[in-house]
Each structure stands twice: as structure tokens, then as C-alpha cells.
Chain A
Amino acid sequence: MMAVALSVVALWPSTDTSATPLAKLKTKFSSKHTSSVDHTQFAVLNQDFKTPQDVTQACISCHNKRHTEVMATSHWNWSNVEYVPDKGLLSLGKSNILNNFCVGVSSNEQSCTKCHIGYGYKDKNFNFKDPRNVDCLACHDNSNTYVKGSGQAGLPDKIVNLKLVATHVGRPERANCGTCHFNGGGGNNVKHGDMEQALYDPSPDVDIHMTSAGSDMSCVDCHSATNHQMLGKVYSLSSANRDRVQCESCHTELPHNDSILNNHTLKVACQTCHIPVYAKENPTKTYWDWSTAGKLKDGKPYEVKNPDGTDSYLSIKGSFQWGKNLQPEYTWFNGTATHYLLGDKVSDPSKPIQINTLLGSYDEPDSKIIPVKVMRSNQMFDEVNKYLIQPKTFSAHPGDGGFWKDFNWQTASAEGMKSVGLNYSGKMGFVKTEMYWPINHMVSKGDKAVACSECHTRNGGRLKNLKGFYMPGRDQNDFADLAGKSLILLTLIGVLTHGLTRMIAHKKGGF
């Protein structure tokens, strides 16, 4: 009897919600990674390293193939061969693409390569073939004490205890990624808007995946790697539809209980509804005007701050606008992008130059609506050659042409353009540019998602600028609506006239 009762209980269909797909994901990511080895016990790591290259040598002595994997990545090469629509196969990346923040790496390597996963990338002659220059620690330090020096071409700061770091290595943590990816463009959240230091310990409202009140996921839980090739790409540099991190990989394409919402996923990216605002915690730079840079007070550069602590003016960089809790702009995106390339002539400089263009339209099967941060700038332009200028901004010492020390656009432009092998005419001006940064992080809780009526509304909806398709609530066929309303009006007039006539006629006892 007891056995029967027990088996009935056991076989009874479970109402436990842990069976839902979302709950399964939560369970999966709540089991945290544990290292299979204790690096403190390896003799080869317990030595007083003279140079960081010696640490790399020690790493390679066990992980004797990993450096070849690293040296095949864009983290190392700062370029990546991809098919660029209408331009062909090109090797593009941080090393040779311009942006509308600090503009570009060329001639400024010594400063920019603080975020290169290598040692000594101080100019374009860096030896990308030397495995000893691979910086394993930037990504694998788990002691949280490793920092790279400023202007040191990627070498660690002198305060770093290499033995401590080498014996405390492991799977990349948020800080390993964040130290560079949260601070791109020269400060916290400057570039992306959706990636910043708040993600170290975000509230559930800021990021539902990374909050310690939730699944506490780290960057590499989504940006997983095979042989050091990480998933995920940023379309300021990338062009091809591959190696992307997709929400759908975990959540599937039909994650909602509501089939109408599921219908949306064919054309609307998850991020579009689930990241209603970005820069939730700290401001991000939205406009950068280089044309005001170079003003000096008493011969010295100065800065002007906003009340919230952000810079509104820096002599070295110009004027800025910032935004917080920003509503993204939206665009069609098929996973491919094209780029402004160094030396591309601009036929009409009165229109904003598109530094990158996210491709896609409603009609393409792979295209979806995605949220973007559009960065707008006013930046250096060769008025005669009609192309954007790669300036030399960084200088270790005054007098070698870098704008940040000499405040002279002529030498900065000449030196920068020389480094990329392009002519500088001597006539420099400023042009408007735009750059598109897909917003993928700072996913909100489900109940904070964008409401239907924020897009499905006649005027002023989030998608008011997206063309090429019919959206209920926003769109109407003017002719059909006019015809329909006329029909109703005519019917009304007819009915009223007929009725009134009847009333009058009946009062008179009939005409």
C-alpha cells in the first residue's frame, strides 16, 4: 500500500518550474567553474620573473601549443581577414580601421597597445611572430593585481608582482575583459555605452545575466572560446556574419510563452525589446567635436568638467556630449557591415561620413531590427585629398608631432598620415562622421522589456525611422483609410438624411 502511494507520488507529473527552459539555463550557469589545477604548486611559476616574456616562456613550457592559437586571433593581430560586402576579402581590425573617438592606432601604438595582448607593440614594426611577446596574463590573471602600464606598449606596470600573478592564473574573469573592453575610447563606458564598470557588480535592473542577484554570469559564459577563438564581434571592426554570440543559442528562437511575441523574433532581435535603455549606470560619450581641441590657458592644456564628473572639454581632445539611460536608435542588420577604409575619398563631405555601415533591410531573410548606439563626431579631414585623417595624437615627448603634447594639427596630421603611407595635403578641416555600435549588453529583466505600444504607435514610436515594411499601429495605407472613412461618412450622411426625412414625412402623415 505504502509502495503504491509512493510510486504514485513519484510518477505524478511534476509542477516544479525547474523544468522550464529558462530554469534549466539558470541551473546550468549557477554551477561555477572550478580550476582543474592549482598553479601555485608549479615550480616553473614559482620564480622571480625578470620580464613578463619570461612568464610567457613558463606558460608555454606546459601549454606548449596555446600560443599558436592566441597568435591566430584578432586579439593578437588586431586584424582579421573577412569578406567585406562590395569590397572583397580584407584584413581589417584595430590596427588599420579608423573610428570617431581617438580616431586610430597608427603612429599612436605606444599608448593604444596598452590594450594589446602582447608586449612591446610600440610601432607598426612589432614582431607578431614572436611567441614570447604573447601576454597570457592580461586575460588569465585571477589575482586581480595585473595591470598594464600607460604608454608602455603593452608591458605590465612596474608595480606588478609577476610571480604572484603567474601562480594565480585561470579562466578569464570580468576584470580581465573589462579592463580594456569597458574603458575603450579613453574612459569608462566612453565607447560602447552598454559595456562598463557597472557590469562588475550590476543590479538586476542593469544586467539580468551578470547580476550576483541572478545567474552571476561572467563574460566568457557567453563569449566562449574554442582554441582561443572567442565568439562575439564588434561591427566597428568586423564585417562578416560569423562567430557571433547569439541570445538564441541559449534561449532558442521561440522563447516566449506568447506566440505573438515569438512571431517577432523572425525580424526583431532579442536586444531590441530586452535592452530598453543603455548606459544605465554611467554616461557614455555620444558626440565628440575634435574641432575645438587645442585651446590653451597660459600655454597649458586644461579641462572642463560637467557636474556629473564627465569631461565637457579637454584641450587634447576637444568637446564632448554624454548621455545616460539612453534609448537606442534602431537599424536593420543582417550580420554584415562595411567600413570606411583609410584613403577612401569622400564625394560629399557635407553629409556625415559613415565610418561603418550596418547592412540589412526588411526584405533580407537574415535581417533583424537591432538597437544601436550611434556615435557622432566632428573629426579631422584632408580638404584637398578628400579623406579622413589619421592623426598622431600620442607623444612620449614634446616635439615629435603628437597633438596631445604639441597641439599642432599640421604636424599631427602629417606624422599620422605618413605612418599609414598616405599623402597629407596640408589643408586640414573637420567633417561630421557617424559610427554604429550594436547594443548587446545590459539586458533588462523580462518585465522591463520594451512595451508593444512603444513601437506600435502612429507617431513618435521607437521604430519611427525604420522603413520598408508595414507595422500594425504605426502604418496605414492612406488611400485605403481615406476610402474607408469616406464610406463611413457617406453611410452616416445617408442614414441621417433618410431618417430625418422619414421623421418629417411621418409627422406630416406622409408626403
Chain B
Amino acid sequence: MKRIYVYRLFERFWHWTQALLIIFLGLTGFEIHSEIRFFGFENAVHYHNSAAIAFLVLIAFAIFWHFATGEWKQYVPTLENIREQAQYYALGIFKNEPHPTEKTALSKLNPLQRIVYAGLKVVVIPTMVTSGLLYMFFRYPQRYSVAQLNIKGLENIAVVHTVGAFALVAFLMAHLYLMTTGHTVTSNLKAMITGYEEVPEDRGEKTFTAAELVGAPGGELS
């Protein structure tokens, strides 16, 4: 066993802020959708819009961070090992087999994670942001001069936004469960809190300490 530094400070801040915002947006959003009653419709709308603005700001920083550090490459989907990874979740995990993909600071996502997270970042979140902005500024294309958009009603916007929300809820549930599939049940959670994760002994690849990462190209910015 050894400890490696996987999640840097900004990354952890981004992750947890995003998590809270998505959960809060989900609560307020499903209240607007009349699925739950908690804050009251009027408050839910205001909170939802404020949280959405906060989320946009966070996204702006996150995009900058991903490109500035080169971390975006972690999310590029790959087919390598994907079969092994799927087999692991389907069978190997029940036989206490080791993870087929080693987690390192430079490759912290397994191939399935890469696909799902890339989908989130490239499809789901942009869809939610776009439909959300159209939802927020729905009136203005109609009355004020952006006639080309000619949006007749909220329905399509709302349906897309709602479907995205359902997808995010499903993601969150799977995500919370898969969190427990690390080396130990809590090792993934601990890693996302402290930045350090306990992984099995080296399989011959170089690992980095926090100090090395800070100094490395694309190292920690915070």
C-alpha cells in the first residue's frame, strides 16, 4: 500500500462545489417541476437561478483550470482496457480481483469513467447550460430583436432541461454507488476529500508526490 496524491486542491474544491450546486439545482429544479415541495415555488425559482449563475462561474474557472493544467486530456475517451474494465464491474469485482486499470495522478480515470465524464462535460452539462440560459432569457428572443430564434414556447426548452435533470439524478446515484468500489469502500471518498488515495503497491510505473506535481508541467495552480 502506498499513498499517492491524486486530486489537487482546486480539483477538490471544484468537485465538491459542483456536487453541492448540482444537488441544490436538482432540489430546486424538481420543485419547479412540481415533483417535490420544499422551498415554495417562488423561492425555488430564485434559488435555482442564483445557483445556476454560481454554477456558470464555477464552470468558467473549471474550464480554465482544465486547459491551463492540461487535465482535460484525462477525459479523452479511450478504447484501451475498456473491455477489461467492463468485465471487472460485471464479474471481477465480485471475485475481489484487482482493478484492471491502475490509478495514478496522471491517469486517474478508468476507460469507462472517461466515457461517462466526457459525456457529462461535452453533452449533458452544455445541454443543461444552454437550455437553462434559454429558459432564463426566454422572453427576450421574442420581444427584443433576436427574431431569428423565434422560440414559440417554453415546452421544448423545458423538456430538454428536464430530461437532462433526470439523467443527472441517475448519474448521481450511480456515481455515489461507484464511489464505494475503490480499493476500499471509502478510499475514493477520502481521496476526494484529502487529495490522497491509498492504492496497491507499484506495478512499475512512476508515481508522484504532491511536491513533484506542483513543480511539474501542468502542476497545481492553487
A interface residues (Cβ-Cβ under 8 A, vs B): 260, 262-263, 266, 362-363, 365, 451-453, 456-458, 469-477, 480-481, 483-485, 487-488, 490-492, 494-495, 498-499, 501-502, 505-506, 509-511
* B169 cross-chain contacts in A, Cβ below 8 A: 484, 488
Query: Which of B94, B162, B173 meets A495, CB within 8 Å?
Result: B173
* B222 cross-chain contacts in A, Cβ below 8 A: none
B189 at the interface (CB under 8 A from A): no
Whether A495 and B93, one on each chain, are in contact in the complex, defined by CB atoms closer than 8 angstroms, is: no
Query: Which of B34, B153, B166 meets A473, CB within 8 Å?
Result: B34
B70 at the interface (CB under 8 A from A): no
Minimum distance in angstroms from B196 CB to a CB of chain A: 25
* B96 cross-chain contacts in A, Cβ below 8 A: 505-506, 509-510
In the complex, residue of chain A having the shortest beta-carbon distance to the beta carbon of B41: A453
Of the 9-residue stretches B1-9, B123-131, B135-143, which lies at the interface with chain A?
Answer: B135-143
Minimum distance in angstroms from A219 CB to a CB of chain B: 31
B interface residues (Cβ-Cβ under 8 A, vs A): 32-34, 40-42, 45-46, 49, 89, 93-96, 138-139, 142-143, 152-155, 158-159, 162-163, 165-167, 169-170, 173-174, 177, 180-181
Whether B166 and A510, one on each chain, are in contact in the complex, defined by CB atoms closer than 8 angstroms, is: no
Minimum distance in angstroms from A391 CB to a CB of chain B: 46
- How far, in angstroms, from A266 to B181 measured CA to CA in the complex? 52
* A505 cross-chain contacts in B, Cβ below 8 A: 94-96
Whether B162 and A476, one on each chain, are in contact in the complex, defined by CB atoms closer than 8 angstroms, is: yes
CB < 8 Å A-B pair total: 100
Most B Cβ at <10 Å: residue of A363, A484, A485, A511: A484
With A488-B170, A491-B170 in contact, is A510–B95 under 8 Å at CB? yes
* B154 cross-chain contacts in A, Cβ below 8 A: 469-472
In the complex, residue of chain B having the shortest beta-carbon distance to the beta carbon of A262: B139
- How far, in angstroms, from A472 to B173 measured CA to CA in the complex? 25
* B45 cross-chain contacts in A, Cβ below 8 A: 260, 452
With A495-B173, A510-B95 in contact, is A474–B159 under 8 Å at CB? no
With A484-B163, A488-B173, A499-B180 in contact, is A457–B41 under 8 Å at CB? yes
With A363-B152, A476-B33, A480-B163 in contact, is A487–B41 under 8 Å at CB? no
* B152 cross-chain contacts in A, Cβ below 8 A: 363
Minimum distance in angstroms from B204 CB to a CB of chain A: 26
With A472-B32, A510-B94 in contact, is A477–B159 under 8 Å at CB? yes
Whether A452 and B42, one on each chain, are in contact in the complex, defined by CB atoms closer than 8 angstroms, is: yes
Which 8 pairs between the two chains have the least Cβ-Cβ distance?
A: A484-B166, A470-B155, A505-B94, A453-B41, A495-B177, A263-B139, A452-B42, A458-B34
In the complex, residue of chain B having the shortest beta-carbon distance to the beta carbon of A461: B34
With A474-B34, A510-B96 in contact, is A266–B163 under 8 Å at CB? no
- How far, in angstroms, from A450 to B89 measured CA to CA in the complex? 53
Query: Which of A363, A456, A469, A494 meets B41, CB within 8 Å?
Result: A456
- How far, in angstroms, from A458 to B33 measured CA to CA in the complex? 8
* A451 cross-chain contacts in B, Cβ below 8 A: 42
Minimum distance in angstroms from A470 CB to a CB of chain B: 4
